[in-house]
Chains A and B, each alone.
Chain A
């Protein structure tokens, strides 16, 4: 058994720094690279892509990344866990296999494929068996939106990935798996943790939580003393150096920018936190009130003392459904009286929309430079603010009403208050809203499948 396992985070979300995973592989010793690609609405985008092209439906960026790093990974024995498979895990795995063969790595690489998360074809079966998949926030039953559903995926945990690693997979590709599972699975595999080692499973989960947002724990978006954080242009992504006893150190490669300290780690620990004693994953329930963090030298933070409880009998389901249309547009008003002009323009636009008989579920006006982020907390704006951006958005079920709104904004330039600009981008785009429906399902309904293929 290894004494220390180093897990490096390479992507905090789909669209994060493309160079980050390459630098994690090239910048120093690591054992695993974990890559999180899936936001809550990503699956629905992938479902649409797959409907148009049966070979699509996964994180396309993952394949060219593998082309760049696979030779080094194979040479140095670095393993990869990634939820890049989206709704076409096999398609993604086949693409990686093809790349490996092109690189002359045929026979030197095994790819693990974890499926079973996609329950879109089974929704009718569940509803007919009385599994209502009620919305966790609103308590509405899924049947109320059943004709508008675009994707439905269960969050799988670490154990199917562990099985793939045990079967020799060097690259493990999943669909909808938890971000934390991508870090926890390698630790279970390397240290032989058991299914009821709740404290250890919670420790691995919290290590995953700290690094899953990439540089957000190593100096990025850090409020504490932000001005002194060095060299963010070359920010080092985080690495968890874990031991079998469930303690770990958060660090980053030498010669990188950013900063790992107690404050940067604490900021990430509280990110998107609910009840800190009930951090629920498929693998365990972690207790954030048990976490201790301590300075362990420059850019090193030791994390220890973590406790956990047994996993629940449920898995979380992420369902997406079509929920109408929206559009957001902006105009910029200049000094003098910039705020008053923007407010006047908003009134004129709203009257025109009303006179046209257009109906929306919501019209939202924000004045960027005055109140768009802190609302009334920002206080009264100075009379002489140099400029204000009027930002107005509408949403509703009627696409034609939203479309008409997008055509009413530009006319304000010649038919509204003076000294206005900022319309070079053209009309706002009408977007279909794909909304998120969180639900729970009893675990025994879900059977994850694990397959390992040879490159």
Chain B
């Protein structure tokens, strides 16, 4: 079944120059391996097509059940150069939570989906 990431994780995003970072945090430790499997750098790059113009890097933080993504060239030049409403990438967090991933029936049962 398809599930939106917002049902599995929370997130916070910020900026470093023209790069946005999105930290994606699983609601539980059981969910984390699913995020590792499904939310790859390639899929995130595809998800942010037209927004992130550079490459996307992914880092794993199993200790926090979290993934960190760096979305390069995504803030219109970044900092004071950017004309964007969201020049600091603060809303990239919930933009990632729009992504849909595939869960098996067992996984869907294992995880108490948030309403």
Contact = CB atoms under 8 A, between A and B. Distances in A.
Contacts of B76: 362, 364
A436 B93 contact: no
A290 B63 contact: yes
A234 interface: no
A274 interface: yes
A251 interface: no
A3 interface: no
A249 to B, nearest CB: 17
B14 to A, nearest CB: 4
B98 A374 contact: yes
A99 to B, nearest CB: 33
B85 A373 contact: yes
A275 B18 CA distance: 16
Contacts of B93: 223
A376 B66 CA distance: 26
B68 A270 contact: yes
A435 B60 CA distance: 32
B39 interface: no
Contacts of B91: 373-374
A223 B98 contact: no
A40 B64 CA distance: 29
Contacts of A276: 59, 61, 68
Interface string B88-99: 000101110010
A302 B23 CA distance: 20
A270 B23 contact: yes
A326 B83 contact: yes
Interface in A216-274: 221, 223-224, 263, 266-274
A144 B64 CA distance: 42
B10 A377 contact: no
Contact of A289 (B61, B81, B83, B94): B61
Contacts of A131: none
Interface stretch (A21-29, A337-345, A388-396, A443-451): A388-396
A433 interface: yes
Interface residues of A, number: 48
A359 B30 CA distance: 54
Contacts of B35: none
A323 B12 contact: no
A202 B51 CA distance: 34
Q: Counting chain B CB atoms within 10 Å of each CB, which of A270, A366, A395 scores highest?
A: A270
Contacts, number: 122
Given A224-B10, A436-B80, A269 B64 contact: yes
Given A364-B83, A368-B85, A435-B81, A271 B14 contact: yes
A292 B62 CA distance: 10
B58 to A, nearest CB: 11
Contacts of B18: 137
Main secondary structure of the interface of B (DSSP, over half): mixed
Contact of A223 (B12, B59, B83, B95): B12
A368 B85 CA distance: 9
Nearest to B24: A270
Given A270-B66, A273-B23, A373-B91, A366 B85 contact: yes
Contacts of B64: 266, 269-270, 288, 291, 293
Interface string A272-314: 1111110000000000111111000000000001000000000
Q: Counting chain B CB atoms within 10 Å of each CB, which of A268, A271, A277 scores highest?
A: A271
A107 interface: no
A395 B82 CA distance: 9
A273 B21 contact: yes
Q: Counting chain A CB atoms within 10 Å of each CB, which of B14, B81, B91, B95 scores highest?
A: B81
A175 interface: no
Interface of B: 10-12, 14-18, 21, 23-25, 47-51, 59-64, 66, 68, 70, 76-81, 83-86, 91, 93-95, 98
21 contacts: A40-B79, A223-B11, A224-B10, A266-B23, A267-B23, A270-B61, A272-B15, A272-B16, A274-B68, A275-B59, A289-B63, A362-B77, A362-B83, A366-B84, A368-B85, A376-B50, A377-B47, A377-B98, A395-B81, A433-B81, A435-B81
Interface of A: 40-41, 137, 221, 223-224, 263, 266-277, 288-293, 305, 323, 326, 328, 362, 364, 366, 368, 372-377, 391, 393-395, 433-436, 438
Report the 4 A-B pairs with minimum CB-CB distance, sorted nearest first: A270-B23, A393-B83, A272-B14, A364-B83
Given A266-B66, A267-B10, 17 more contacts: A137-B18, A224-B25, A267-B25, A270-B21, A271-B12, A272-B15, A276-B61, A277-B59, A326-B83, A368-B85, A373-B95, A374-B94, A374-B98, A377-B47, A377-B51, A394-B83, A435-B81
